[in-house]
Each structure stands twice: as C-alpha cells, then as structure tokens.
Amino acid sequence: MTNIIPLSLEKNGKWTERGIRSIVLHHTAGKVSKTQTESIKIIRAINEEHKRRDWGGGAKAPSITYHFAMDLLGNIWLLNHPKYKTWHAGVANDVSIGVVVLGNFQEHIPSDEETEIIKKSLNEIQRWIFWRYFIPRRNWIAHRDVKKTECCGDYLYFILQDWKNRK
Ligand SMILES: [Zn+2]
C-alpha cells in the first residue's frame, strides 16, 4: 500500500525528458569465469579490445563500452558511470545504460543457483539506477530488442523476462 497518488494535471507544454530511459542487457559471448580474479581478467581483456577496435570511421572508445558488469559468482562492477554515453547498443546508446553478464548464454544454461545470483545482481543494479534515474524495472531490454543479434543469449533472455515480470 502506498499513500502516493498520481494526479493528472493540465499542463502548459511538456517537461523535457531525461536522457536515460532504458537499460540494455548483454552477454560477453565468452567463457563463464570460476573466480573473481578470472572475471576481472576477462573484463580487462574486453577493455583492451574495445579500446583497440575501430568503432566506425576510425572512432576509438576511451574504455570498455558497458556501464556495469556481473559474473555468475555474485560480483558486480561499475565500469563507466551511467552519466556517460557509451557505445554498447547502436541506436539505443543515447538513452540507455549497458549491463553485461560474463558468459555465453546461447550455450550456457545457468543452474538454479546461478539464475538466483543473476536475478539478485539485476535487483542490485536496478536499485542503484532507480535511486539516481528513477527508471523502472520494466524498462530493461536485451540487446536483441534493438539490434539483430543473439545478445544476450536465449537463456539469459528468458531470465530477464522472468525477472521483469516478477510481481
Ligand atoms: Zn550485446
């Protein structure tokens, strides 16, 4: 129960919308790490790869292009503050935050335990974002929702839908 009631008032024009409107979930399409040290090593390798890559017309990324990363062990990292626009989801870059899960979820079926860890980490990131940007859980999408790609993998996609629809 809440005492906060939405009140629809007549407006004189519109407020400007905030920059960030959604959160895009990715997978690395790489291996599932077994230790925190291994996870950090994987993230550092992606960071180097993203800096090296030509992002179009010779454009270079300052660092890894995701904002958050998580592994299947319960570790979560903030890689870039969401106030920065990065290049993780093409057309959605302007308005979204990029979250990547370490693993290939087109191949790896998360165990029940791993599924719980993923959902817990999604909760934690969602809380972090909500306090700052007031973006609801329903605004999470997967990379494949905005681009022709398998990302974030069928199995993670299923978990995302399940988590979004939770009461
Ligand atoms: Zn992706």
Is residue 5 assigned to a domain? no
| Helix (H) / strand (E) containing 151 | none
Is residue 3 assigned to a domain? no
Is residue 2 assigned to a domain? no
CA of 3 to the centre of ligand 1 (A): 39
Give the CATH number for residue 141: 3.40.80.10
CA of 101 to the centre of ligand 1 (A): 10
CA of 5 to the centre of ligand 1 (A): 38
Is residue 55 assigned to a domain? yes
Using a pLDDT cut of 90, give the percent of the chain over it. Answer: 75
Is residue 89 assigned to a domain? yes
pLDDT digits (tens, 9 = 90+) for 57-77: 998 899 999 999 999 999 999
Is residue 82 assigned to a domain? yes
Is residue 12 assigned to a domain? no
CA of 17 to the centre of ligand 1 (A): 25
CA of 88 to the centre of ligand 1 (A): 7
Over its C-alpha atoms, the chain yields an Rg (Å, rounded) of 17
pLDDT digits (tens, 9 = 90+) for 117-142: 999 999 999 999 999 999 999 999 99
Q: What residue type is assigned to position 87 of the chain?
A: W
Write the burial class of residue 108 (CB in 10 Å: 0-12 exposed, 13-18 middle, 19+ buried).
Answer: middle
CA of 46 to the centre of ligand 1 (A): 13
pLDDT at 1 over 80: no
CA of 152 to the centre of ligand 1 (A): 6
Domain hosting residue 125, numbered range: 24-164
Does residue 151 have a cis peptide bond before it, meaning omega lies within 30 degrees of 0?
Answer: no
pLDDT digits (tens, 9 = 90+) for 72-93: 999 999 999 898 889 999 888 8
Could you give the number of structural domains in the chain? 1
Is residue 4 assigned to a domain? no
Q: What residue type is assigned to position 132 of the chain?
A: R
